[in-house]
Chains A and B, each alone.
Chain A
């Protein structure tokens, strides 16, 4: 069989006798499963684009034998590793070969999630009802009453009951083919060979995930002769692990992933980068707010739009050729709760991006005004939503200008409460003159370039914010 190496040179004693024998114990089922898998790969003609993932456990050294691409995975992680291979090169046929401790215990999450994903990988699961390599401890598949090194008085209810993996996997929607086979007699060996080939074929045809559970013999740790082990599998395991096809769906090939795209314009379009020169509207840095670095804080509750408004200020500043940063801060609530944004606009480079003592505060609600109002520096500006906040709290430096604008009322009048943050931006522009109006409206337009229909409403909201402040001044 050409899928096996001529000589097992990777075997630590490959030069000697071991060069043509496996490292498995006499009578072990792995040898048979290996033969069936090698035959399947050979008969399907896929040796050159097959990757075999071998696990931790006795079959950790599967790569000694199979002349295909080989990856050896951590305990339990073979299915995850197999997916990494398959997603990276969909042309590869990826086979994960795992034992029961590996697949049904430590790697259960990876096993189940890979199966449910349904991507066409092939999983060969060797179930011998015991841990082999570590010396005969209890496996998730050990039978009730079975004595092992870690269930010396026999597996009891306190150790849980045997895991029927073929049924678990067949119960998921992802897999297309699940079968349990055995190796104890000629008929079952023939069925096992057939099942393994079919499972690989499901992948070759791009039909989906396939899983074959093989009831295998471990004479060493079951502490029986090979012949008695065959009998034990037949008489004791099969009643608990019934053989046969658990699932076999006629599925159209669906796994056709295109090769990744590396075209420059494709990339730039996807990330929204533009070669168009941004028009500048600013004559000079707004030094009247701060000579080099203006610190702003926008605060409200989640959903007020503080983060979006903050982003727009940063974008506007960068469009004008300055440096800017925005740091959001919010609580664990997905909606509601606190939501603060620290924004800096710097002539050259933002150094400290936090705003513990802002030059400008935009407060969308009363707690924000109460909390951050007193932190605003002397000479600074506070703009708050006067539809929500009825009384300005104490503690604000008398040198701070406090401007109340009914963000929410204006936005509601416009028919969309969510634009109150844009009203606030208009108010910011009018109250501080941080940038010309066109700088901010251009940034809004940029943000909405894929939702052009929303631009007029937002521009209107901005204009009303400006107007509200101007009217206050009159």
Chain B
């Protein structure tokens, strides 16, 4: 009995009571009842406790769903005289999040590797410090995941074969949100499934690299190369106001280099980065040189890393108040604008005096470069403009190359998705007088060939002469 007397009785600030009454049914002594009046501050009817009848069994406190609802009365405090705001004092302050910087680790010079584009991209990721890879097998990107499954255990990293692409992107959301460089390999139908998660990652500012080796669609289509996800990457990364830097490599070497760049950019902007390759590029074996250094990643300040230094952090994309969400979008738009200003990349080949400008990306850009060489040998002033970022579109570079251009030929394995980006970018840049535009296109799993580009340009010129 002596112990019972020492047990604290419950205490309630009426303002914190929602009047659910769960304490009433819990009270064995029937000493809790509803008050007679509605609490003016909350609009609820709080409970009142007859403390004289109470034996301090504590069941009511256990039944109260509110963290600061029914509480134990400290023995030495006269609650009635306390200002509620001061009652609960301050606890352990949230730690100031710390940054652990990246470390650069030099590599000796090595002989070139002879590897597939998918493998090159995987190595680029590893060199950039990525040890967490999540994916779901899909041709023609699978070798990337397979190589990661083989190499990561040797590097004490993790490869998780997700239950679906939907799960894969959400593994990335967790891993990227924890501050770690993470990636996936996918192909068109898989990328579609990931877009919900990409939108969340953009909203919550979570970094992650998506390698999409594009194949023929729509639907299941086939497993041969296409370039039909340009629109998806540039204009449709899930719901909402979304953009991500989208890189389009054209050689296995670039698969490595641009994957490394993608990791740098995804952390720089806290925004996913997409690499679009065509099915050929993923499967294509070529010469790949390793860089002079690799990266050991640190931990950024914002990470929900699950350690003491980052306890107060939050990864979330929800902004229920319209005003807050608008402010968040204004902030994201500003980030997109910075990407547009700083991150456009392209390659120009023999464009200084070009009258025929071929625009192409990925493997078709290689074929087009061959065609430009053929045309130059025949005395035709042809040049190649190759966007390396398709979003943001390198429009300023393109405008420079347009100085003498009479014909622009867009070579792509889609029904005009790249051409749409070109037109939109030029239009936004205020270019109203476009050169004549025509195209060489394939869709269904074929890529435009050098001979076709050559024939197309010669047909244009023949018509002009006529």
Contact = CB atoms under 8 A, between A and B. Distances in A.
A147 interface: no
Given A4-B67, A21-B68, A12 B171 contact: no
A51 B174 CA distance: 10
A36 B59 CA distance: 14
A186 B26 contact: yes
Given A60-B318, A69-B310, A314-B285, A26 B178 contact: no
Given A71-B314, A92-B178, A350 B306 contact: no
Interface string B417-460: 00000000000000000000000000000010111000000000
Given A21-B66, A29-B65, A88-B132, A272 B109 contact: no
Nearest to A322: B287
B233 to A, nearest CB: 20
**Most B CB within 10 A of own CB, among A10, A29, A80, A319:** A80
A347 to B, nearest CB: 13
B166 interface: yes
B451 A356 contact: yes
A233 to B, nearest CB: 12
B204 interface: yes
B437 to A, nearest CB: 23
A61 to B, nearest CB: 8
Interface string B266-302: 0000000000000010011111001000111000000
B366 interface: yes
Interface stretch (B2-10, B90-98, B330-338, B391-399): B90-98
Nearest to A46: B306
Interface in B179-200: 179-180, 182, 196-197, 200
Interface stretch (A324-332, A385-393, A408-416): A324-332
Interface stretch (A148-156, A223-231, A428-436, A462-470): A223-231
Interface string A224-268: 011100100000000000000000000000000111111110111
B449 A314 contact: no
Contact of B105 (A74, A113, A262, A329): A262
Interface residues of A, number: 109
B329 interface: no
Interface in A134-168: none
Contact of B132 (A34, A38, A87, A352): A87
A445 to B, nearest CB: 14
A444 interface: no
A83 B182 CA distance: 13
B175 interface: yes
Contacts of B252: 325
Contact of A77 (B19, B105, B114, B167): B167
Interface string B13-31: 0011011111011100000
B315 interface: yes
A427 to B, nearest CB: 22
A345 to B, nearest CB: 11
A121 to B, nearest CB: 10
Contacts of B450: 351-352
B112 interface: yes
B126 interface: yes
B314 A10 contact: yes
Given A227-B21, A356-B449, A311 B285 contact: yes
A270 interface: yes
B131 interface: yes
A109 B166 contact: yes
B306 A50 contact: yes
A35 interface: yes
Given A83-B160, A318-B114, A352 B287 contact: no
A193 B109 CA distance: 59
B109 to A, nearest CB: 6
Given A70-B316, A326-B284, A6 B170 contact: no
B111 A353 contact: no
B323 to A, nearest CB: 10
Given A70-B316, A264-B294, A51 B306 contact: yes
B85 to A, nearest CB: 9
A69 B311 contact: yes
Contacts of B41: 17
Contacts of B249: none
A273 interface: yes
A318 B22 contact: no
Contact of A332 (B111, B223, B280): B223
B194 to A, nearest CB: 11
A396 interface: no
A276 B42 CA distance: 77
A338 interface: no
B308 A49 contact: yes
A24 B306 contact: no
Given A53-B174, A189-B62, A311-B285, A351 B304 contact: no
Contact of B21 (A190, A225, A263, A350): A225
Given A74-B197, A266-B154, A274 B68 contact: no
Interface of A: 1-2, 4, 6, 10, 12, 17, 20-22, 24-32, 34-35, 38, 47-51, 53, 60, 63, 65, 67-74, 77, 80-89, 91-94, 109-110, 112-113, 117, 185-186, 189-190, 219, 225-227, 230, 257-264, 266-268, 270-278, 310-311, 314-315, 318-319, 323-329, 332, 350-354, 356-357
Given A271-B113, A276-B111, 17 more contacts: A20-B67, A21-B16, A48-B311, A60-B318, A72-B317, A72-B318, A83-B174, A84-B178, A85-B178, A88-B175, A109-B163, A189-B62, A219-B20, A261-B156, A270-B155, A353-B280, A353-B284
16 contacts: A1-B67, A12-B321, A31-B64, A31-B65, A50-B306, A69-B306, A84-B178, A85-B177, A87-B158, A109-B167, A186-B26, A189-B62, A227-B25, A264-B108, A325-B286, A356-B451
